[in-house]
Amino acid sequence: MSATLARALEVLDVLAARPRSLPELTELFEAHRTTLLRQLRTLEHAGIVVARDDGSFAIGPRIISIATRALDTFELRPLGHARLRELQATAGHTVHLAQLVDGRILYIDKVDDDSGVRLHSRVGRSVIPHAAGVGKAVLSLLDTTQRDRVLADTQWTAYTSRTITSRVELDAELERVRERGYALDDGEFEDFVTCIAVPFRNGSQTLVGAISITALRPQKDLDYMKSLLPELQAAVDDITRQLT
């Protein structure tokens, strides 16, 4: 990969979080102002970024359009979105749909809690496999070789005091997930959220995914999350039937 392309991708990744001014970007990348501005102008001309009236730069309409069209190519997203909305309406919490794609587990759809609560997760972002309900749910369906591939670059970071921090510990938990048919996240990535997730495969066993319900942990404990399992399982069953 060329240095110019690598820098462009780094800039886009930063701007995806929030707009940034040229001085901010120059300091962040330790780059010469003129060089960085030239790269930004090239991206702006292509519609990849936009220059705002306040002098900052933001993600442009073209890349949003590309990302949206790319997401729609994931088989699960168009099939599952309506059912996810129904599940969110009945459960009343944030609902995620994740899929195993080229050795990574990605959030491919999300319906936010209608109370206005917003979580760290983003559509298109990789799941942290050892610290997320959908991550553990998907991993529970994989054989050792597939699991090794997904976990190859795992840093085993302890995001909270409840985070699983070793492969041995994770494998033991995944066996429990496989036996009971659902995964739990009890404040393992963000200590203020709790989650229940159910995995699934398509009829040919080639597509693997999971659906989760996530709530604020101080308000909803694991027993409450388990009470949502029938609704969650019904949604998974409905989507799975469309895949066979």
The CATH code for residues 74-243 is 3.30.450.40
Task: Report, as an integer, the average pLDDT of 180-201.
Answer: 92
- Residue 203: the pLDDT is 67
Residue 75 reports pLDDT greater than 80: no
- Residue 233: the pLDDT is 94
Task: Report, as an integer, the average pLDDT of 49-70.
Answer: 81
The model's confidence at residue 229, banded by pLDDT at 50, 70 and 90, is: very high
Task: Report, as an integer, the average pLDDT of 191-198.
Answer: 92
Backbone torsions φ then ψ of 31, nearest 5 degrees: -115, 160
- Residue 114: the pLDDT is 72
Task: Report, as an integer, the average pLDDT of 80-92.
Answer: 89
Mean pLDDT over all residues of the chain? 86
Contact 43, 11 (CB under 8 A): yes
The model's confidence at residue 79, banded by pLDDT at 50, 70 and 90, is: confident
Report the topology of domain 3-66.
Arc Repressor Mutant, subunit A (1.10.10)
- Residue 128: the pLDDT is 92
User: CA–CA separation, 106 vs 209, rounded Å?
Assistant: 9
The model's confidence at residue 115, banded by pLDDT at 50, 70 and 90, is: low
Residue intervals in the chain for CATH 1.10.10.10: 3-66
Residue 170 reports pLDDT greater than 90: yes
- Residue 1: the pLDDT is 55
Residue 65 reports pLDDT greater than 90: no
- Residue 206: the pLDDT is 66
User: CA–CA separation, 159 vs 31, rounded Å?
Assistant: 31
Contact 164, 180 (CB under 8 A): no
- Residue 60: the pLDDT is 86
Residue intervals in the chain for CATH 3.30.450.40: 74-243
Q: In what order do the strands lie in the sheet with 94-101?
A: 104-111, 94-101, 208-216, 193-201, 183-186
Residue 125 reports pLDDT greater than 80: yes
CA 39 to chain centre: 29
Residue 158 reports pLDDT greater than 90: yes
Residue 5 reports pLDDT greater than 60: yes
The model's confidence at residue 116, banded by pLDDT at 50, 70 and 90, is: low
